[in-house]
Amino acid sequence: MIFDLHIHTNCSDGLLSPEQGVDLALIKGLDGIAITDHDTVSGLEMAIEHSKKYNVKVIPGIEFGCVYEGEEVHILGYFIDYRSNDIILATKELRNNRINRAVEMIGKINKLGFNLKVEDVIKFSKEDFIGRPHIARALIEKGYFASIEEAFEILLGRGKPAYVERKTLSIKETIGLIHKVNGIAILAHPGLLKNKGVIDYCLNNGIDGLEVIHSKHKEEDVKYLLEMS
């Protein structure tokens, strides 16, 4: 069976709705997908209900962002109980943190001489979820940058002039939360990590597995990660 286990929808920083994600999986001939939106489970019910019309399975998932020794680390949770109060309360707080951070970043952007309003960004996002890609798309629309990558490289990336650190759960807290809601915790795209010591840290704190196949992984990354597992 062929599954894509790392799908984002427009409930976080993706472009397609949960239903459209299921439709695209059907078109691509996939047996199923895992919806793993950043810090939210709001799209899962829509995707699961829509998938019942077709022969496409939807694995309920999520992707949490953590910070370890100054580097962003992402943890995927699969087969989670997405109706659990634990996950609902945790994701609500994380989304509020994202909104507060986005407002602060927009303020820094304007102090740097740009002209950007919160309303400009919300056009590209959900009102309860604003991420850096949404800010980047708003800046592109205004003609400041040609691509999301350029906006991150010059302005929005870690250590860049408009960057603001986001309040997150720790890696240990994240793994614990995923396990508490009966999920499986997986270290996302570890081949992109600068500090490979993060992998050992996650393994020592109960991570269940590693994401080996990823669009941004090089062949040597895949080989290295397969040898580890």
Taking only the tens place, the pLDDT of each residue in 37-65 is 999 999 999 999 999 999 899 999 999 99
User: With 70 as the cut, is the pLDDT of residue 228 above it?
Assistant: yes
**Arithmetic mean of pLDDT, 13-18:** 94
Here the tokens at position 203 are 């393994």
Model pLDDT for residues 151-161, shown as the tens digit of each residue:
999 999 999 99
pTM: 0.89
Residue 12: closest CA among 47, 34, 40, 50: 40
Among candidate residues 165, 178, 182, the one with its CA nearest the CA of residue 207: 178
Report the pLDDT value the prediction gives residue 227, as an integer from 0 to 100: 87
Is residue 127 predicted with pLDDT exceeding 80?
Answer: no
Task: With a cut of 90, say whether residue 213 has pLDDT above it.
Answer: yes
Residue type at 210 in one-letter notation = L
Long-range contacts: 103-111, Cβ < 8 Å, 24+? 104/164, 105/132, 105/135, 105/156, 105/162, 105/163, 105/164, 106/135, 108/161, 108/162, 108/164, 109/135, 109/139, 109/155, 109/162
- Listed in sequence order, the residues at least 6 apart from 82 whose beta carbon sits closer than 8 Å to its beta carbon are 41, 44, 45, 60, 62, 181
DSSP three-state, residue 185? strand
Q: How confident is the model at residue 229 (pLDDT cuts 50, 70, 90)?
A: low
| pLDDT value of residue 129 | 86
Alpha carbons 126 and 213: distance in angstroms, whole number: 29
Are the C-beta atoms of residues 130 and 122 closer than 8 Å to each other?
A: yes
Contact predicate 7/33, CB 8 Å: yes
From 4-18, 80-94, 100-114, 126-140, the region with the lowest mean pLDDT: 126-140
Task: Specify the residue for token string 């604003």.
Answer: 130
Of 8, 143, 140, 142, nearest in space to 74 by CA? 8
Lowest mean pLDDT among 88-92, 128-132, 179-183: 128-132
Give the Cα separation of 41 and 35 in Å (integer).
Answer: 9
